[in-house]
Structure 1
Amino acid sequence: MSPERYQKIRDVLSKRQTSLTVCLEQVHKPHNVSAVIRSCDAVGIHKVHAVWDDETKELRGGTAMGSQNWVYMENHNSIGDAVSHLQEQKMQVLVTHLSDQAVDFRDVDYTKPTAIILGQEKHGATQQAIDLADQEIVIPMVGMVQSLNVSVAAALVLYEAQRQRQIAGMYDTQHLDESDCQKMLFERGYPDFRKLCDEKNLPYPHIDEQGSIVADDDWWQALQFRKL
């Protein structure tokens, strides 16, 4: 990995917002999943959560498109499990849903730890997700159609969250643990070595400030490569 690529990855990781995430509930169309994850990366989300039905889970082999790039995906067996996990992290859980109880998405304080549930394309969030969430939010519309594509809705809400967090200076301080930074640096900086490590059950090495691998001879021998 070149020093330039190392610095680029470092700059991205320094702005990751560990206290902001989305939870995809049965969002099954690949282009929508990819578009949501792209927006998550753009606003600095480190990890996305998801609940898939059995058919979608089979199609994806348990992972979501895009998670192999710059945003991690954590799968949950049910929306109940997902919400419990998020609330254990002291996150306010929002759900996009048109109702009398919903508030304008711009009236929410996104500088708080926040998770946003996005329901599936046709029917939206399930009643269980709505019941479990702390607050329903809505994107005001004045046209004939009263719903947006899920990826468009995600982008609108996430960029409002980014706007508030930038004003609050939350992108000026690194929130990601150094161990998580090291993991991402190795996985994305040395994808071939990462694959070998996973196959051989080897620990990931340290990456220094020049973007080079720091490992002893035993590690290189186990990897069956000469030291770089």
Structure 2
Amino acid sequence: MLKKITSLQNNEVKWVLQLQEKSRNRRKENAFVVEGRREIELAFKGGYEPINIYYVPEMIAFETVMELSKLNPEHGAEITELSDAVYQKLAYRSSTEGLLAIFKIHEFKLEDLKFENKNPLILVAEAPEKPGNIGAILRTADAANLDAVIIANPKTDLYNPNIIRSSVGCVFTNKVCTGSTLEIIDFLNSKNIKIYSASLQASQNYLKTDFTGATAIIVGTESTGLSNEWIENSTQNIHIPMEGEIDSMNVSVAAGILIFEAKRQRNI
């Protein structure tokens, strides 16, 4: 018989809430929460190993849950039925589908990053703080089918529920890894990947830049921009001409403009 949880005081309910709320709990337990059918499907397809699947029978059929669990046949997951009250306590989003899952964390190691494309196109985002921006960057990266996204000096872990939600699961569809700025610069140089840093210092119009070779586009935060290490180690600093009163734009928007110019050049 399936396990059922109906009490809000159940220890497993408290455990799931702790995984949602605290990065240190996710690291300690080596686990994170995914909510929603599309996101869970993408996590399965991305090779993530499931631990638990929770569902509300009034919202989603048990047969549908079983079909989802077969997306990763190598790893079985415990399936647990939740009461509506428990699910509403756990649900992170206002629009719910009656489905939650716990997956094991993947380690994002820079040294494990491999490229099938001889001229990879990579986005590096240095120290992004807002989960919404990170999610938007990951959605853009998925849309452009980038070879990798690298987060330099991360301020939050990639399994933050807000990142998973704002990326609509694209954290699972991209090759994503993290590292320090200097580690990433060394990695890019070792792979002969040119570094194009988005900066106003000694820069040229991005439209005059050749992105057809192995390329890493580097973007920083709107408030502080890129660190000096990127400016000093850049193949070429680039900028997007601004025609209004301000001299910067949202980092995810800037990344999208630069990425799709690189894609345009490569598709000519």
Q: TM-score, normalised by structure 2?
A: 0.51
Match of 1:86, SS?
helix
Q: Which has the larger radius of gyration?
A: 2
Out of 94, 98, 103, the residue aligned to residue 204 of structure 2 is: 103
Tell me, what secondary structure is at the counterpart of 2:267?
helix
Q: Which amino acid counterpart does residue 107 of structure 1 have in structure 2? A: K
> Which among 178, 184, 192 is matched to residue 75 of structure 1?
178
Q: Which amino acid aligns with 1:34?
A: G
Q: Compared with structure 1, are the counterparts of its residues 149 and 16 closer, same or farther at alpha carbon in structure 2 (3 Å cutoff)? A: farther
Cα distance in 2 for partners of 1:163, 1:73 equals 23
Q: Which has the higher helix share?
A: 1
Counterpart Cα distance in 2 of 1:121 and 1:29: 11
1:25/1:50 contact within 8 Å kept: yes
Q: Any unmatched runs of 5+ in structure 2?
A: 1-44, 46-115
TM-score w.r.t. length of structure 1: 0.60
Give matches, 1:1-228, under 5 Å: 19-53=120-154, 56-57=155-156, 60=159, 65=164, 66=167, 68-76=171-179, 78-99=180-201, 101-167=202-268
Which amino acid is the alignment partner of residue 80 of structure 1?
L
Q: Structure 1's 139 and 68: CA in aligned 2 closer, same or farther, altered over 3 A?
A: closer
Secondary structure at the residue paired with 1:137?
strand
Say whether the 8 Å CA contact 1:83–1:133 is kept in structure 2.
no
- 3-state DSSP of counterpart to 2:141: helix
Question: In the aligned structure 2, how far is the partner of 1:59 from the partner of 1:46?
Answer: 18
Higher relative contact order (CA closer than 8 Å, sequence separation 6+): 1
- 1:87-115, Cα deviation, whole Å (9 max, x unpaired): 2111110110012x201011111111000
How far apart are the structure 2 equivalents of 1:154 and 1:79? Answer: 18
SS in 2 for 1:94: strand
Q: Which runs of 5+ in 1 are unaligned?
A: 1-8, 10-14, 168-228
Higher strand share: 2
